[in-house]
Structure 1
Amino acid sequence: MSALKAELARLIAEEGPLPVSRFMALALGHPRHGYYMTRDPFGRQGDFTTAPEISQMFGELIGLWAAHLWQAMGAPAAFRLIELGPGRGTLMADILRATRRLPGFREAASVHLVETSPALRARQAAALPEAAPVWHDTVGAALDGPAIVIANEFLDALPLDQFVMTQQGWRERLVGLGAEGELVFGLSPAQETIGAVASIGSVLEQPAIAAEIVSQIAAHLSRAGGAALFIDYGSSRSGFGDTLQAMKRHAFVDPLAQPGEADLTVHVDFERMGQTALNAGAALNGPSTQRDFLMALGLAERAARLSQSAASAQAQAVAQAFERLTAPGQTGMGELFKVIALAHPDLPPLPGFDLHRLPDQR
């Protein structure tokens, strides 16, 4: 039994079953045993791989997107370039490299990273030695003045609550202890007041933390200017379903089996996040699929250009990365991953949506 699993068992025995959101928060962020607090989970030697780790093309296109946005904002002399959950710092490094030739951009940008993991902060510092990043524990602390916010696979790691429709109505899903002391799912005895109508057995997820963060960012952008880009896996439409999953060494595992040793994520409800942003006063671009977004930014052309001057093995790697980023189904990220952008209402439609293409600045 892992150290965190033993601690959770003691906590449940003393205080009672935990909401799914509290279980997720402890499994991922416990100060001593939390998954993200103790390791670098990325890449082949870790538990999962994100788009920036698959290919530099991803980060380069996001960088050009940010450069175009900065110009559309009127090229402010100072703005915050903020990344939420920056992983190893790979995406930010690629963004900064892609924008180095745009006069004034790098001088105007101050880099801010929202990261709570000491292990990952060390990796980010090593990846960004010249960027002089400023780290923050919360999103609110990073927001100040005009901002360009990038969040790739950030919302999926935020804890949420789950409710199950029973014959007696909605009841909250909880994590408790089984007969032999193992962690098990159960239901609260009390009926919850939820207006949604669904069939027996349906699961409703309530991403209150994600919605609060999106609302906070949207409200700030509507006042101070700028835009935020969210890329994650999830659905364009709200619905029912249990999306909680755990990943260890690139394979799915039981979410309750190894808390603190496996990544926990949920699918993002992009319809709800978009409506939350609109309610907070921001303009909404998307949702789009990752494939459509990257193709509109020029991914195919960038891949072809890299392949022209590459050796055979490198060209094959570019082709494989292109396929991974754009393919549908379980083999790729092209359709499962969605993209939305929140923006100040006075900004024009943003690149990547409605097939609005970026000018070539490479």
Structure 2
Amino acid sequence: MEVTWREAMRRALYGAEGFYIRERPDRHFRTSVHASPVFAEAVLRLLRRADADLGRPDPVDLVDMGSGNGLLAARVLAAAPPDLAERLRVTAVDLSPRPGDLDPRVAWEPEAPYGIAGLVIANEWLDNVPLDVAEMTPDGPRLVLVDTATGDERLGPAPCPEDLAWLERWWPLRSPGERAEIGRTRDEAWASLITRLARGTAVAIDYAHLYGHRPPLGTITGYRDGAVVPATPDGSCDITAHVALDACAAAGERAGAWETTLTTQREALRDLGVTGARPPLAQASADPAGYVRALGRASQEAELIDPAGLGGFGWLAQTVTLSDSRPRMM
């Protein structure tokens, strides 16, 4: 069956037999959450900053978008100090069934709640929001249709006016054969999340690219069993595409975000105290066991901030405050 890539991704990932409904994603790929508990510690520091900025409300929210197996939410809750833990309301948002071993204090919901006061973390969430693909032809952009069984493609009709406008603003196509992934659906998903944030901060962490540096042939990729595979939208593999985070940032501002920071995971985590610094060599003789533990932690930190790996991920942080009186628009 031939459909647009947006529809193909929706079915392949979230349909009745979709990858995210049927599979545990952590069995197929490794995110920063799975790489090290250090990532959850950094998120906890970010949560404590948000909590202090908000005047330590009761309750204070942590919302984990695209939670997967709930590991990040559970780790942050377990590490929270008593004064924060007793006020902390943790919500994991995912379409897959709730893991049986998840801490009962973590709520499990299919969509983000409204009225969030605290911190929202969307780690590798937006890259799985389905989107359409366009290819430039001598007659202008055309949607790419894909066979859901084989992954074979052919060109279809022109994109709708809204998508054409998005392309011209955020990912202009100039030469025949160039491709773009139309990120309007990601913008809308992120804006919807911002409208659910009454006050606090939302952070999107993902494979990303910015205007002027878009990949000319797109980024749609399949993953299965820890390896890159053809992006065949038959439900057998994860399908992702990098995120135009600058477009999402603009959508978030239209939806009411007051402050925006767009950076990399390397810089964001370094600001949160993750440096990858090795322990002093003198500790090896004075405290051999402690030196080995510190060396292991340094290795974990280094992986999280490696600019050629996880450290190269984009970080978009946007804040909503009670003093923001601007109207919210999707």
Name the TM-score class by shorter chain: 0.7 to 0.9
Which whole-Å CA distance do the structure 1 matches of 2:310 and 2:68 have between them?
18
Residue identity opposite 1:36 in structure 2: Y
Structure 2 partner of 1:354: none
Q: Deviations over 1:190-246 (max 9, x none)?
A: 57652524221121222233211211222333xx21111111111243635411101
Q: Deviations over 1:279-308 (max 9, x none)?
A: 112123321110111111101279759x97
1:152 aligned to which of 97, 102, 123: 123
Which whole-Å CA distance do the structure 1 matches of 2:42 and 2:277 have between them?
9
Unaligned runs of 5+ in 1: 1-11, 348-362
Contact 1:64 1:99 in 2 (8 A): no
2:12 aligned to which of 27, 33, 54: 27
Structure 1 partner of 2:193: 217
1:176, CA displacement in angstroms? 3.0
Structure 1 partner of 2:238: 263
Which whole-Å CA distance do the structure 2 matches of 1:286 and 1:303 have between them?
29
Which whole-Å CA distance do the structure 2 matches of 1:27 and 1:59 have between them?
29
Contact 1:236 1:271 in 2 (8 A): yes
Structure 1 partner of 2:327: none
Q: In structure 2, the residue corresponding to 1:293 is in which secondary structure?
A: helix
1:235 aligned to which of 189, 209, 215: 209
Contact 2:134 2:159 in 1 (8 A): no
2:301 aligned to which of 319, 322, 333: 322
Structure 1 partner of 2:20: 36
Which whole-Å CA distance do the structure 2 matches of 1:190 and 1:269 have between them?
21
Which whole-Å CA distance do the structure 1 matches of 2:289 and 2:71 have between them?
22
Which whole-Å CA distance do the structure 1 matches of 2:159 and 2:65 have between them?
36
1:309, CA displacement in angstroms? 7.7
Q: TM-score, normalised by structure 2?
A: 0.85
Contact 1:47 1:250 in 2 (8 A): yes
Q: In structure 2, the residue corresponding to 1:252 is in which secondary structure?
A: strand
Matched, 1:333 2:318: no
1:267, CA displacement in angstroms? 0.4
Alignment of 1:169-188 (within 5 A): 169-176=140-147, 182-188=150-156
Matched, 1:285 2:260: yes
Structure 2 partner of 1:358: none
Structure 1 partner of 2:102: 127
Identity of aligned residues (%): 28
Structure 1 partner of 2:135: 164
Alignment: residue pair count:
309
Q: Deviations over 1:123-170 (max 9, x none)?
A: xx51324x2x2222123xx22342421111111111011111101111
1:115, CA displacement in angstroms? 1.0
1:319, CA displacement in angstroms? 3.4
1:226 aligned to which of 192, 200, 218: 200
Q: TM-score, normalised by structure 1?
A: 0.78
Residue identity opposite 2:45 in structure 1: L
Q: In structure 1, the residue corresponding to 2:144 is in which secondary structure?
A: strand
Unaligned runs of 5+ in 2: 324-330
RMSD: 2.6
